[in-house]
Amino acid sequence: MYIHEIEAKWGIDLSAISNNGGAEKRFDFVVKGSDTVYGIETNFYTSSGSKLNETARSYKTITLETRDLEYFKFVWFTDGCGCHNAKNNLKETFDVLEHLYNIADLENGIISKVLI
């Protein structure tokens, strides 16, 4: 779902992550909780490397840009040996993300416990 679709559907302002309408971010999934809209990205990495590092930097930026928005939260579901092998390189990003989950979290019902 694109940012402009989220804004139109739920009447929220996401200009903090759209460069005031100049950039069009698309989330893999969007979930509407009782008071919060969650923009969700998902991926699985079989190896570490520049793609994982760049994705992590991008998601850190989105998290920081939306930190003060009470009605929107960014969520990242990721897993794979690439994430496990790159823990030290990604620590800075992992430290900022409030909602960072893996497959085990999904299997243990994290969505109903935290996001809804």
**46-99 pLDDT per residue, tens:** 887 788 888 888 899 999 999 999 999 999 998 888 877 777 767 888 899 989
Rounded to two decimals, what is the model's pTM?
A: 0.88
Q: Is the pLDDT of residue 103 over 70?
A: yes
Q: Is the pLDDT of residue 25 over 70?
A: yes
- The whole-number pLDDT of residue 45 equals 87
Q: Is 82:49 a contact under the CB 8 Å cutoff?
A: yes
What's the distance, Cα to Cα, between the start and end of the chain in Å? Answer: 18
- The whole-number pLDDT of residue 19 equals 72
Mean pLDDT for the stretch of residues 3-27 = 87
- The contacts of residue 101 (CB under 8 Å, 6+ apart) are 75, 76, 77, 78, 110
Q: Is the pLDDT of residue 14 over 90?
A: yes
Encode burial over 68-105: b for 16+ CB neighbours within 10 A, e otherwise. ebeebbbbbbbbbebbebbeeebeebeeebebbbbeeb
Mean pLDDT of the chain: 88
**Amino acid letter at 64?**
L
